[in-house]
Amino acid sequence: MKNMLSMLLPRRHMLVMASAFALLANVGPAWAADESPDAFIKRITNETLDMIKADKALRNGDIGKIIQLVDSKVMPHVNFRRMTALATGPAWRKATPEQQKRLQEEFKILLVRTYAGALTQVSDQVVVVKPLRAGQEDKNLVVNTEVRGKGDPIQLDYRLEKTPGEGAGWMIFDLNVLGVWLIENYRTQFTKEINAGGIDALIASLAARNKSNAKPA
């Protein structure tokens, strides 16, 4: 079964989503607690586009290196539990801790392998961060950006939340390319799987897709 997002978005737009997912890999372990959300996105996009352009192994789609970067750099700065829970929908609350753990693991692998190949196309793209809309809440705040390169500009938005307490900072939990939100897209797929066979069927389906994606082309 093809991934629905790959059917909805042309390859150039898949590249933008891939870049957005990969750019998080260069976020450092610390940030200013009072850093504005738009400044946060501007900093990490500029730093990481430079990193991708300079890293031949990453641009060549080295899965091992990409997974290593995701594990060490991405996960601390993405609320992946919330992302998976939102994509799963109401069934998430009924899942056991072990089922939730397996869902997160398989979903992460799916995202990494889906977008890794598109990284080979990163070349002259630049990201322009648009002015932040006033009146947004810290638990569901959207930063709008535009990716510019060859062809028409591409809309790319980030949904963030502000973490409270010591070490407070911004966490990303959703991405949007041209009006297609990642969570909404996957929720449609996941709901069909869950309705057909429950949480275990969804886990099995994701595992099968990941196994298929891992095979050499």
**CATH number where 146 lies:** 3.10.450.710
pLDDT of residue 25: 46
pLDDT at 161: 92
Domain that holds residue 153: 4-214
DSSP state of 144: E
Under a CB-based contact definition with an 8 Å cutoff, are residues 111 and 92 in contact? no
List the strands of the sheet with 180-181, edge to edge: 126-129, 141-148, 154-162, 170-177, 180-181
Distance in angstroms (rounded) separating the CA atoms of residues 74 and 62: 16
Question: What whole-number distance in Å separates Cα of residue 127 and Cα of residue 157?
Answer: 11
Q: What is the pLDDT of residues 79-125, one digit of tens each?
A: 889 999 999 999 999 999 999 999 999 998 888 776 665 555 666 77
Q: Residue 8: its pLDDT value, please? A: 39
**18 CB neighbour count, 10 Å cutoff:** 25
Of 100, 98, 15, the C-alpha closest to 59 is 15
Spatial distance between the Cα atoms of 74 and 206, rounded to a whole number of angstroms: 21
CA 146 to chain centre: 16
Residue numbers of the chain with a pLDDT score lower than 50? 1-10, 25-32
pLDDT at 187: 94
Domain count, the chain: 1
